[in-house]
Amino acid sequence: MEIKVLSIKKFRMSNSALKAFASVQIGPWTINDFRIVHQEGKKAWVSPPQSTWEDDRGEKHYKPIVVVPDSLKDRIEQVVLDAWAHGVEPSKDDIPFGEDEDHGDPQY
């Protein structure tokens, strides 16, 4: 199955581990909002799209929107990180969150 990165939207906030969102075509499907995460001193990794919510106690919870087998997830991560490192066509929609703004899911 072919995996292709369609776009990468950079998260322009220098102190955030969240670096970008990627749109990925996997075979005939396009899946948006894969997260590229890179914490200082650690290897970058890719997280599939997820929803986030808070319970009554204020604790955050995460649920994947798309669940993929580990072998496919590894291939997606390799392709996305390679595109992020070597560049894909620039996205006109970089995400300009300020340093003091909410870090929740962006509104597109």
E strand or H helix that includes residue 74: helix 70-86
Domain that holds residue 21: 3-54+63-86
Residue 15 in domain? yes
Are the C-beta atoms of 93 and 23 separated by less than 8 Å? Answer: no
Residue 91 in domain? no
What does the pLDDT read at residue 97?
A: 40
Number of domains comprising the chain: 1
Residue 11 in domain? yes
Residue 40 in domain? yes
Sign of CA dihedral 84, 89, 93, 99: positive
Side-chain-side CA neighbours of 108 within 13 Å: the count stands at 8
Residue 103 in domain? no
The more confident residue out of 103 and 70 is: 70
What does the pLDDT read at residue 89?
A: 57
pLDDT in tens, 29-68: 999 999 999 998 999 999 999 999 999 999 999 999 999 9
Residue 104 in domain? no
Identify the CATH number of the domain in which residue 31 sits. Answer: 3.30.1120
**Residue 22: Cβ within 10 Å count:** 26
Token pair in block for residue 87: 């560049």
Helices (H), 7-64: none
Is residue 78 over pLDDT 50?
A: yes
Residue 74 in domain? yes
pLDDT confidence band for 98 (50 / 70 / 90): very low
Residue 35 in domain? yes
DSSP letter for 42, please. S
